[in-house]
Amino acid sequence: MTNEPILEVQNLRYCYDRGREALHVDRFALRRGERVAVLGANGAGKSTFFLCLNGVLEAQGRILLSGKEMTRRGRNELRRRVGIVFQDPDRQIIASTVGEEVSFGPMNLRLPLEEVARRVDESLRYLDLASFRDRPAHYLSGGEKKRVSIADILAMEPEILVFDEPTVSLDPKNVELFERVLDRLRAEGRTVLISTHNVDFAYRWAERAVVMKDGAIEADGPADEVLSDEALLARCSLRPPALLELARLLREKGVLPEDVPLPRDVESFKKIWEGQK
Amino acid sequence: MAHDHNSGPVSRIDQEAYRSNLRRLSPVWKLAVSLTLLVLCVSLRSIPVSLFVLASTAAVLCLAGKTPPRLYLEALGTPFVFILLGTIAVALEVGRAPAGDWSGRFLGLWWSCSRAGLLRAAQLAATALGAVSALYLQTMTTPVNEITSALAALHVPGLLIELTYLIYRFIFLLSATARQLRAAAQSRLGYCGFGRSLKTFGTSMGTLLVLSLRQAGDYYDAMLSRGYDGSLRFYEEKKPVTAVQAALGAAWALCPLAVWLVTR
């Protein structure tokens, strides 16, 4: 597989209502199969950035997909290839039954009806929603609505999947379900971009972290490096991941050896710990 | 699993439409039958015809559609009260002198009632009730998305259909927001006393407007990001009308005429 970026952004600028710039990203590139967490406090510009990537907001600057510049006319292609799962499913779900809802995107892609039916089937199955097809979307629970909103986007088969604050309104059980979906996407080598202010989640899941502040990218690099930069995190109103802090403390006290890589999740922490004994 | 904060009659009728056994029938078929029954009921103005429509739709809904009879009766209850109040005015005459077949003095006036007036009132009530039940055949078996697709099949303009669809979806979003606002105000004693209630209600309606405008904006962004280009398109499962269904529907819709001819 080539290492060419599938998405590239240069000098992206966006202003809401002639006010101050809400977004100014000089450079950002995404390679196939990357798992990127976009971190930042509320109002740091994460959602605006995502809406620009998908062509909903018209930003100044260049957006390149697989090296090809997207002009105004290419907006539909952006929407096809970059899919956003919005934060609040109630601001995304539009149809009255789950099946129709998931078909909305593929229908807008003007696919043949058999293809639409196939994609709807497939993404409903992917999210364990097959039995929900004829159910009204407005009577589902929060976690179920979230799954429907993910199926919505999977059915469009985008190359890049973008999740805007996916875990905010989910209970722990649904967060777990969601992470299982992410694991599957990871196994399939999909390119995923997630905005979050949950640093623990980002540390566990992401291989690369982007930190945003006041509409600009403040840091961009391997997740463990970015998330262990305390000064950076403090400047951007974030706190370091609890597990990382704990592991560092144990290392300082000589409990954990220096040469073992810091654990990314509780499971690997356990393994290191048990290896110590 | 599905939980439900709305348990008003309207939302229960809505849920019933998704659950009904008759949902798998073609929405066009249901629309055609229920409109024919409605038109016959209103135009023939005959008590036996209306009773036939009432009884046959109730039987089809409850037996074939497995609609709980209790829900059906409750749903019929509200219009029934209105119809009753309306027809009392038709049946009763008030004047300075006794008239009609029965009369009595009350509050210094003569309240009278005639055989013809009673008959007219009964006819009116039966017609209205029959018409409502004919419409329930549609509403209790067909979710709104299928009603709109039936309307599209009948070449109703797309704009109207999309508006219907979006308004339907927004009813649930708005009522959820309104409920949250109300609960939040109640928890701060916002509805304690008449004056305060009015003020709180006004303020929360203002907030609801602002919130729903913002929500509509977010919604539009989400639609755009999935390639919305000005017309709503969904994949619908085809529900063709079979020959047997067409024949049964036609027979059912013609029965009121037979009843009318026999009882005329």
- SS3 for A6-70 is EEEEEEEEEECCCCCEEEEEEEEEEECCCEEEEECCCCCCHHHHHHHHCCCCCCEEEEEECCEEC
Q: pLDDT band at residue A21, thresholds of 50, 70 and 90?
A: confident
The terminus-to-terminus CA distance of chain B in angstroms comes to: 54
Q: Is the pLDDT at B10 greater than 80, yes or no?
A: no
Judge whether residue A88 has pLDDT over 70.
yes
ipTM of the complex: 0.81
pLDDT in tens, B186-204: 888 888 888 888 888 888 8
By Cβ distance, the residue of A51, A120, A139 closest to B221 is A51
Per-residue pLDDT at B7: 58
* Span A158-165, average pLDDT: 94
Distances (CA, A) of A241 to A38, A226, A246, A271, B196: 15, 11, 9, 19, 47
Both structure tokens of B174: 């708005």
Give the rounded percent of residues in chain B with a pLDDT score beyond 70: 97
Q: Does B18 touch chain A (CB under 8 A)?
A: yes
pLDDT computed for residue B169 by the predictor: 87
* B88-113 residue pLDDT tens: 888 888 877 777 777 787 887 888 88
The structural domains of chain A, with segments of one domain joined by +, span 5-240, 241-277
**pTM listed for this prediction:** 0.83
Q: What is the pLDDT of residue B116?
A: 84
Res. A19: pLDDT tops 80: no
Query: Is the CB of residue B226 less than 8 Å away from at least one CB of chain A?
Result: yes
The matching CATH number, chosen from 2.160.20.60, 1.10.10.10, 1.10.3720.10, 3.40.50.300, for A5-240 is: 3.40.50.300
Q: What integer pLDDT is reported at residue A277 of this predicted model?
A: 63
In this predicted model, what pLDDT tens digit does every residue of A184-243 receive, in sequence order? 999 998 999 999 988 989 999 999 999 999 999 999 999 989 998 989 999 999 988 888
3-state secondary structure of A210: strand
Each residue's pLDDT tens digit, A203-213? 999 999 999 99
Q: What is the mean pLDDT of chain B?
A: 86
Q: Six-digit token pair at B242? A: 């079979």
A140 contacts chain B (CB < 8 A): yes
Asked if the C-beta of A83 comes within 8 angstroms of chain B's C-beta atoms, the answer is yes
Is B235 close to A99, i.e. CB distance below 8 A? yes
Residues in chain A with CB shorter than 8 Å from the CB of B228 are 104, 108
pLDDT class of B154 with cuts at 50, 70, 90: confident
Report the interhelical angle of A98-108 vs A142-154 (nearest 10°): 30
Determine the Cα–Cα distance for residues A183 and A35; give it in Å rounded to an integer: 11
What is the distance in angstroms between the Cα of A56 and the nearest Cα belonging to chain B? 6
**Closest residue by Cα to residue A42 from A224, A237, A239, A202:** A237
| A122 near B CB under 8 A | no
Contact B221 A56 (CB under 8 A): yes
For chain B, what is the radius of gyration of the CA atoms?
24
pLDDT of A252-277, one tens digit each?
Answer: 888 877 777 778 888 888 888 787 66
Q: Which amino acid is at B115?
A: R
The answer to whether the CB atoms of A51 and B225 lie below 8 A apart is: yes
Q: Which of A120, A134, A141 sits opposite B235 (nearest CB)?
A: A120
Q: Would an 8 Å CB–CB cutoff place B163 in contact with chain A? A: no
Within 8 A of A88 by CB-CB distance, chain B residues are 218
Give pLDDT tens digits for B104-145.
878 878 888 888 888 888 899 999 999 999 999 999 999 888
In terms of Cα–Cα distance, which of B135, B96, B132, B111 is closest to B17?
B135
The average pLDDT across B22-32 equals 89
